[in-house]
Structure 1
Amino acid sequence: MSDSNGRTYLIAKGHWINLFITFLLIVLGILFAGSIPEQNGHFGFWSVLPPLVAIVLAFWTREVISALFVGIVLGGVIAGELNVVQEFLIPSIGTEGFALILLVYLWSLGGLIGMWTRTGGAERFAEWASHHLVRGRKSAKFFTWMMGLVFHQGGTISTVLTGATVRPIADKHNVSHEELSYMVDSTASPAATIIPFNVWPIYIAGLVAGTIPLFETTQDGIAFFFQALPFNFYGIFALLMTLLFAWELLPWLPGRQMREAIRRVKETGQKDRDRAEPMSSPELTKMNIPETYQPGLVDFFGPIGTLLGVAILPYIITFYFMGQTEEPTLLIAEAFVLAVLSGMFIALTKGMSLKTVMEGFVDGCKGVSIGAIVLALAVSLKEVAETVGTAKYVVALAGQAIDPLVLPAMLMGLCMFIAFSAGTSWGTYAVVFPVAMPLAWAVLPDPFFITLCFGAVVGGSVFGDQCSPISDTTILSSLATGCDLMDHVRSQVPLALTAAILSGLLYTFTVFLFV
């Protein structure tokens, strides 16, 4: 059996394994649904199984869609809710949040990239940037790092803006999609927690306000967030490692898959491995520019300028002129829709037919359909995890350890696990902060110790969100850069885990020396 046939056999075997497990869970659910006792808002060890099984199957079989569905079905069995469509899928997909993701990050982003395949705007920008800003692989990756800091609003918006901006340049300069997706993902939420001119301080301050004497008001929480910035060790290490990775200055590169990706693209120019299944389809990359159309920089900077102007300027104005006590204005949906409309208007005024413009837009929307399915199942699994009390059980279990020396590192590890399992940093903050801050205060009511614990929770949650295959930022990083989702996860985990281990050791060392 050839290697190619062997891989095909293993992938097909993975599909059958997932289908068999799903069938087995349905049979068990019919027999035992509702018989697992609930206690204190969770089901004990059973609460961890839905996201854990989904993640293990996704890594094992490299097939995400069926793995996510297995996790949802398992959650339905545990919670005694066998109608997972009615109980989990419809409530999750029918929310305003998912509608925003579908409209903005899938249809608008996909449609905009699809139009660029007709106008040549992104390709023209890549040529211009290559001539003026970028000289090769290293500078292309450094440009990606810089864009990640510029678009530091965090989460989905950062991954989409950075990925859409840098991908044509990275592709032109022979950067593998594993490298690109890691850099986009690792400069999204980590940058948002280190350059906090965004909504993150306000959100977290609202969670910690009133939990301990240090945080009597929301304003106290915001001030403490800025005070704790130097002690968000994971965010700092993540950005530093990404910078070193960009310039290829790491003395040793953790992770066999990333090393193979770099070797592959340098030797063959192949940006994805054989049999990879990129999150974006050929509709998003194949150029189909009409012969009579002349591509120009305006085709790229027009939509991008509209997007950034509408999304960022109101935010900056409200943040700096209305004060940090009020939530800044973020017009994300409006920005993306107007960017698409501006791209259409520019193409039409330059002579492109309406039919060609709409064909490009529709092709782009079709190109992100796989991402839409994965995201729908991922948000449904998050609903399952909340229903069965995954985070509540893990917090209750970890709360038994109260040694001050290990508490910051332990809180970081706890948040890493919860965020990785649930695929959300903000959801992890909502569960952990109200428990972690009183716990830390009870263990040692010292402001510096609280600062370390605070930074550990912030950084650990970002790590789990960044690395989880069911996180929207992970999925959208793969989508925006055209990378296979599981290739992105597998290649970035060793790098991110290295930063996390260094952070945990530094927390423990700092407590030992100064507390």
Structure 2
Amino acid sequence: MKSGYLVLFSLAVGLAVTSPPAIVFDNLRPVYVDNVEFSLTVSLEYSNETTYDASSTLYSRVLWNNEIIGNHAVALYDEYGLLRSTIYIKELLVTGLDAQDVTVENSLSSDFSTVESATASLWFIPGAVTLLSPILVIIVAVWTREVLYALYIGIFTAAFIVSHYDPFQAFLRVLDTYLVESLGDVDHAFVILFTWFLSGLIACISRSGGSFGIAEIFKKFAKTRMTVQLVIFFIGFVIFFDSYANTLILGNTMRFVSDAMWVSREKLSFLVDATTSPVASIAPISSWIGFEVGLIQDQIDLLLEQGEDLEGVSTNGYMVFLATIPSRFYPIIMLFFQFFMIIAKREFGPMLVAERRSMDEHKLVRDDAKVDGKKEDEAMMPDESTPLKWWNGVVPIVLVIFIVLLAVMLTGRTTSLALGLPLTPENIFGHADANAALLYGSFTTTVVAWFMYRFQYVVQDRLVHPFMYWLRFKACPGRPLLTMQQNLDAFMDGIRGIFQPILVLILAWAIGAAIADSGADIFFSSALTGNLDPRALPVLTFLIAAVISFCTGTSWGTMSILFPLIVPTSWYASHDAEIFTLTISAILAGSVFGDHCTPISDTTILSAISSRCDLMHHTITQLPYALVVAVISILFGYLPCGYSAYESFAGLGICALASVVLVIFLGVRVDHPKRRLDVLTLAGRKMSNCCGKTDEDVEVPKTINLWEYDAQTDEEFVDILRPNFWKLSTWKGCFTCNGKTTLEEDPEKGKEETVDAEAQEAVSEQLSA
């Protein structure tokens, strides 16, 4: 009898052993691209009554049209002795369109005698269709100059593809999926909230006179337009720990100073935008580092698990991150490029037109600019009797930076301790919650600023503190600097002024998700890769990252897409530490480029918000500079370094030299006496005239030869392209416009660069200009 039970038990155990785990598909994409490799993630479900041998192997295969298109084998138990919960089946290929049924089978035997299977219906589209959404966004935005229309059309087009070409379903998905998920994302909610609080805080600072007090202080040091821009540039390095904090604080604070010197809003927003992500992405300590190092470490661990010997490559993600900094050509050269542009006083393209308009006509923005917050700016102006004191601006700004930095370190310390990591700077800043820190800092500082302004009193156009009166039990004469109601009104005016940009930001997040769902990221990666020389991989990777980040508007999203696709490929193709490091660097740099110059990027939008600049005007004026730096980075950086022509440090020097040459010979001095235009602007005007369009903003000069010699102008104007530049006596004023020029004959055509009486009186009027 006992032997019978033993036989039955043995049979039951045998059946259990031969029964593989059940299959559940995870993270299926809404859209797959025809004839492009993809992967499937499969979750495994086990029965509580099933037991397995510790040495069991799980065999998997994928079938399409009764053909095997993929195989996979892995130990059933992982290295920790636990049953494996997920498997990844890669390098699958389907050559078909519309709905295609794909079946996954699992077995514990190589002959698949006993299987568990599951079938999924995948939607396949042609690769070119994935390009429709980003192309339409660009075309509509340029044609209508209205970003909201362009973004909605782009989201609808992507939803139309995802919804299997059903327009009604696409209309619904835009509303109930992409917009709702964009607004409901926790990180997005943090961004919206701290943007509101920080914008409201800046409005209160402005209403108290603090912003103009700061402007008065900076005007003592920033006597010219060049020095103002240098101050903005170097302050961008001070707020290095987070790109959002850099953008919002720098733009809102320095706007009043740059306006006083008649620096165009387009130039201000470029300086703000060009010192956000480029600085934060290469800073050894910043809110970016945790994300970047985490992606690097994941790929290193994956390669080590697959038995790869990473000779010459550190197994520490942070050390690899540091090794990529010398080859981050785009962000580093962008910082050098804008610095040299400032000291050379040269611009080209739309930025030259904008700077001439602001300097000559005293128009900070174009007449057709859609700048939000004009009425709110007027409401935030201090009363005429309000003293303009610098501490009412400096104290809240320093406090918000201090609280944000403190919160970053505290949240990073807490997370590092919870993960059992050593308390090193890279771990603390890398695992910090930057979004929460910004929210803590902006809200706390707003409350402190309200009480600070409430307990200052204005008596005969001067500020007094009421404490000495209260100690004598006397009422303080005068009025509060700002009552609590005035604080609240100014705070709401600040929030109201950025309502439309916040809406653009929500749509930008939505279209990033929609474009990724439509398969554009997969198609971009596959179209630009292939059987190529591994030495060309860094250049190709930079281009892929640039295109994806430009179309999706997110640098972090682009990094998340490309790291698992390209980093292992670069090692398998080359087994070269230098190519491996250059490829990682190219992903990080290319993601910053695309995110830097697209109108749907959050940092681009926030730069326009904080600078009170039209978003499309900011994008159009910044795009030529970004493209020029990207071309320099490719031709003199990633291409020769990938082919081992020289080291990365030498590449940085050559790229810097190339940017100097381009600025000198492509750019034109903003204060040129004859207001000559650069070659790019003239070529653009020629093309516009051929297309029947004219630009009435700036009159095309009759003389366009930069090398033409004019004795009178040569004596008065110093420039590297003029003969007098090479005279020893002119070096003293090589960056100034000395003597009398043609501008002084007609005051309406230009103004002196130094702060004259008119510019000082216009400080209180410029925001409504």
TM-score normalized with structure 2 length: 0.59
In 1, the alpha carbon distance for the partners of 2:300 and 2:185 equals 34
Classify 1:248/1:452 alpha carbon distance in 2 versus 1 (closer, same or farther; 3 Å): same
Preserved contact between residue 280 and residue 479 of structure 1 (Cα < 8 Å): no
DSSP-derived class of the 1:247 partner: helix
| 2:27 matched residue in structure 1 | none
Query: Aligned to 1:58, which of 132, 141, 146?
Result: 141
Moved more, 342-351 or 472-481: 342-351
DSSP-derived class of the 1:211 partner: helix
| 1:461 matched residue in structure 2 | 591
| 1:288 matched residue in structure 2 | 381
Preserved contact between residue 98 and residue 125 of structure 2 (Cα < 8 Å): no
Q: Which amino acid aligns with 2:539?
A: A
Moved more, 266-275 or 416-425: 266-275
Show CA shifts across 1:104-149 (max 9, x none).
Answer: 11x2132123223421111111111111x31211011111111111
In 2, the alpha carbon distance for the partners of 1:305 and 1:445 equals 48
| 2:316 matched residue in structure 1 | 220
Show CA shifts across 1:399-433 (max 9, x none).
Answer: 21522232211110111100000000000000001
Q: Which amino acid aligns with 2:321?
A: F
Q: CA deviation at 1:445?
A: 1.1
In 2, the alpha carbon distance for the partners of 1:161 and 1:369 equals 18
Q: CA deviation at 1:170?
A: 0.8
Query: Aligned to 1:428, which of 554, 558, 564?
Result: 558
- Over aligned residues, Cα RMSD in angstroms? 2.4
In 2, the alpha carbon distance for the partners of 1:156 and 1:479 equals 12
Listed as ranges, the gaps of 5+ residues in structure 2 are 1-96, 101-121, 164-168, 306-313, 414-421, 457-479, 647-769
Alignment of 1:80-119 (within 5 A): 80=163, 81-82=169-170, 83=172, 84-105=174-195, 107-119=196-208
Listed as ranges, the gaps of 5+ residues in structure 1 are 1-34
2:597 maps to 1:507: no
Alignment of 1:467-486 (within 5 A): 467-486=597-616
In 2, the alpha carbon distance for the partners of 1:76 and 1:346 equals 50
Classify 1:166/1:321 alpha carbon distance in 2 versus 1 (closer, same or farther; 3 Å): farther
Preserved contact between residue 207 and residue 490 of structure 2 (Cα < 8 Å): yes
Alignment of 1:240-251 (within 5 A): 240-248=336-344, 250=346
| 2:246 matched residue in structure 1 | 158
| 1:325 matched residue in structure 2 | 427
Moved more, 80-89 or 120-129: 80-89
DSSP-derived class of the 1:187 partner: coil
Classify 1:209/1:480 alpha carbon distance in 2 versus 1 (closer, same or farther; 3 Å): same
Preserved contact between residue 230 and residue 339 of structure 2 (Cα < 8 Å): yes
Preserved contact between residue 596 and residue 604 of structure 2 (Cα < 8 Å): yes
| 2:579 matched residue in structure 1 | 449
Preserved contact between residue 280 and residue 370 of structure 1 (Cα < 8 Å): no
Show CA shifts across 1:250-287 (max 9, x none).
Answer: 5xx342x1110111112112111121112443313555
In 2, the alpha carbon distance for the partners of 1:299 and 1:503 equals 43
Moved more, 441-450 or 293-302: 293-302
Classify 1:444/1:481 alpha carbon distance in 2 versus 1 (closer, same or farther; 3 Å): same
DSSP-derived class of the 1:275 partner: coil
Q: CA deviation at 1:163?
A: 1.0
Q: Which amino acid aligns with 2:517?
A: T
In 2, the alpha carbon distance for the partners of 1:390 and 1:292 equals 58
In 1, the alpha carbon distance for the partners of 2:630 and 2:303 equals 27
Q: Which amino acid aligns with 1:349?
A: F
In 2, the alpha carbon distance for the partners of 1:332 and 1:235 equals 24
Preserved contact between residue 264 and residue 365 of structure 2 (Cα < 8 Å): yes
Q: CA deviation at 1:476?
A: 0.4
In 1, the alpha carbon distance for the partners of 2:531 and 2:621 equals 32
More relative contact order, 1 or 2 (CA 8 Å, 6+ apart): 1
Moved more, 82-91 or 470-479: 82-91
Q: CA deviation at 1:381?
A: 0.9
Preserved contact between residue 269 and residue 608 of structure 2 (Cα < 8 Å): yes
DSSP-derived class of the 1:513 partner: coil
In 1, the alpha carbon distance for the partners of 2:558 and 2:226 equals 35
| 1:275 matched residue in structure 2 | 368
Q: CA deviation at 1:215?
A: 6.9
| 2:286 matched residue in structure 1 | 198
Preserved contact between residue 521 and residue 561 of structure 2 (Cα < 8 Å): yes
Alignment of 1:38-437 (within 5 A): 44-80=127-163, 81-82=169-170, 83=172, 84-105=174-195, 107-131=196-220, 133-212=221-300, 216=304, 220-248=316-344, 250=346, 253-255=347-349, 257-284=350-377, 287-290=380-383, 293-315=386-408, 322-326=424-428, 327-328=431-432, 330=434, 331-350=437-456, 351=480, 352-437=482-567
In 2, the alpha carbon distance for the partners of 1:36 and 1:180 equals 48
In 2, the alpha carbon distance for the partners of 1:243 and 1:37 equals 54
In 1, the alpha carbon distance for the partners of 2:484 and 2:423 equals 42
Moved more, 36-45 or 447-456: 36-45
Preserved contact between residue 478 and residue 488 of structure 1 (Cα < 8 Å): yes
| Identical residues among aligned pairs (%) | 29
DSSP-derived class of the 1:175 partner: coil
In 2, the alpha carbon distance for the partners of 1:117 and 1:332 equals 20
Classify 1:155/1:48 alpha carbon distance in 2 versus 1 (closer, same or farther; 3 Å): farther
Higher radius of gyration, 1 or 2? 2
Q: CA deviation at 1:161?
A: 1.8
Q: CA deviation at 1:52?
A: 2.5
Equivalent residue pairs, number = 476
Preserved contact between residue 416 and residue 460 of structure 1 (Cα < 8 Å): yes
Preserved contact between residue 597 and residue 623 of structure 2 (Cα < 8 Å): yes
Q: Which amino acid aligns with 1:328?
A: A
Q: CA deviation at 1:298?
A: 2.3
TM-score normalized with structure 1 length: 0.87
Preserved contact between residue 232 and residue 250 of structure 2 (Cα < 8 Å): yes
Q: CA deviation at 1:216?
A: 5.0
Classify 1:452/1:41 alpha carbon distance in 2 versus 1 (closer, same or farther; 3 Å): farther
| 1:20 matched residue in structure 2 | none
